[in-house]
Amino acid sequence: MSATTFNRLTPYLFLAPALVIMVLALLYPLGYMVYGSFRDWDPSQALGESEFTGLANYVTLWNDPNFRESVAVTLKFAVSVVSIEMLIGVGLALLLDRNLRGMSVLRTLFILPMMIAPVVVGLVWRYMYHPTVGIFNNTLKSIGLEPVDWLGQHALLSVIIADIWQWTPFIFILSLAALQSLPRSALEAARIDGATGWQQIIHIKLPLMMPVLIVTGLLRLIDAFKVLEVILVMTEGGPGLSTEILALRISRTATEFRELGVAAAMSNYLLILLMLLTLLMLFYNRWQEYRAAKAKRAIEEAV
């Protein structure tokens, strides 16, 4: 091997270990899942022993009303929690972006919920929603109001509230970081020009924070599509299928129904959905960059 060829190959040699690890750790399980989704696979069998069924699992799911209901519940849950969390999280960040005494303690307190294990969160909320001994109904009764059947008639709303409580701090902490890294010059210029607080938020702060907010929202959305433990502990997907989100249905299909092939197909549907969302966000980012570059070019040409 000549020195030139060796030199050309050197970077690839350095990259090789990372590539091997990526193939083994990421692509192999993914490939296994995709392969499994085309088979009638029982957990007692090795994958190789299972029967090849082509697209049967995907077609079965497409015609399964329970799966479709589960997708609808997932979309309803994810869109609701992410919208409300973004609203509250960003709002809180805008409120607390100032030098107050004890602010660091306050920030730590705010992010405590997301540090708690999901199973514990599920259990705590389940008992708070308890019809007779739960704090919510006891409080309602003590002020003369009718108790609410939280985990019965309002199960989806109840799990949405619990998720908002746990994950709003995530939005808050990232929004606050974004706010604090904004160029002070732009804000100062706005203030000098006489912009009110609201005008500063709407025309300066939010547009400048937008790239971070988009990524934050996307991360939360991906996570909301996969949430499992809290709902499993709180409602086990019920009543009926009203809180059975896709991750829970996948888990039940694999463990209760023992249909690993169908569970793998369901996971692939979820993966496709999440990839579409990610691509959408990527395109949006590109479009934003393109717009910014275009505006910059226009200014340069004008100057």
Residues 6+ apart with CB under 8 A from 170: 85, 89, 111, 114, 216, 220
Is residue 68 a contact residue for another protein (CB under 8 A)? Answer: no
d(CA 303, CA 298): 9
Candidates 61, 73, 82, 155; binder of another protein (CB under 8 A) is 155
Helix (H) or strand (E) holding 39: strand 39-40
Q: Which is nearer to another protein, 120 or 292 (CB)?
A: 120
Query: Which among 186, 181, 175, 180 is positioned nearest to 215, based on CA atoms?
Result: 175
Is residue 153 a contact residue for another protein (CB under 8 A)? Answer: yes
Is residue 92 a contact residue for another protein (CB under 8 A)? Answer: no
Helix (H) or strand (E) holding 51: strand 51-52
Q: Which is nearer to another protein, 82 or 230 (CB)?
A: 230
Amino acid at 92: L
Query: Which among 69, 83, 90 is positioned nearest to 177, based on CA atoms?
Result: 90
Task: Report in angstroms how near the CB of residue 19 gets to another protein at its nearest.
Answer: 29
Task: Report in angstroms how near the CB of residue 139 gets to another protein at its nearest.
Answer: 15
Candidates 94, 128, 151, 164; binder of another protein (CB under 8 A) is 151
d(CA 77, CA 72): 8
Task: Report in angstroms how near the CB of residue 150 gets to another protein at its nearest.
Answer: 8
Mask for 273-302, x = binds another protein (CB under 8 A): ------------------------------
Q: What is the gyration radius of the CA atoms in the chain, in angstroms?
A: 25
* Contacts (CB under 8 A) with another protein, residues 31-60: 42-46
d(CA 125, CA 252): 22
d(CA 55, CA 52): 9
**Positive or negative CA dihedral for 227, 228, 229, 234?**
positive
Candidates 91, 113, 147, 211; binder of another protein (CB under 8 A) is 147
Is residue 256 a contact residue for another protein (CB under 8 A)? Answer: yes
d(CA 288, CA 282): 10
Q: Which is nearer to another protein, 196 or 255 (CB)?
A: 255
Task: Report in angstroms how near the CB of residue 227 gets to another protein at its nearest.
Answer: 17
Q: Which is nearer to another protein, 127 or 290 (CB)?
A: 127
Is residue 252 a contact residue for another protein (CB under 8 A)? Answer: yes
Mask for 212-241, x = binds another protein (CB under 8 A): -----------------------xxxxxxx
DSSP assignments along 143-154, one per residue = TTPPP--TTTTT
Q: Which is nearer to another protein, 85 or 244 (CB)?
A: 244
Instruction: Calculate the dihedral angle through the C-alpha atoms of 122, 123, 125, 128, rounding to the nearest 10 degrees.
Output: 170
Is residue 244 a contact residue for another protein (CB under 8 A)? Answer: yes
Is residue 181 a contact residue for another protein (CB under 8 A)? Answer: no
Q: Residues interacting with another protein, by CB under 8 A?
A: 42-46, 66, 130-133, 137, 147, 149-153, 155, 235-242, 244, 252, 255-259
